[in-house]
Amino acid sequence: MKSGIFAAGCFWGVQYQFQRQAGVLNTTVGYTGGPEQNPTYPEVKAHQTHHVEAIKVDYSKSTTLHRLMASVLTLVRNIGARFSISTRNRKPLQKR
């Protein structure tokens, strides 16, 4: 199993798109990128922390990260969301 963390705006819609992809084993939503401990959803949404909403995707070894990203990027673009990969302050995903 491999894992990747993605920040792409609202994590609920992105999680739904990843869950629909072949090879995705599990998804976990949370926050990443900030130094604050245990941020809450209202704090992150109000930009009171340095965190962004993110999703951790566990996928099979036979699935390439590039294929997953390309598939989800296309779907997310089609619904008008902005897709980005957060590499800032690489820290473990803090579960919601």
**Whether 33 contacts 7, CB under 8 Å:** yes
CA angle 45, 41, 5 (to 5 degrees): 90
* Annotation marks residue 46 as catalytic: no
The crossing angle, in degrees rounded to 10, of helices 11-19 and 65-78 is 120
Catalytic-role residue among 3, 10, 25, 74: 10
Catalytic residues: 10
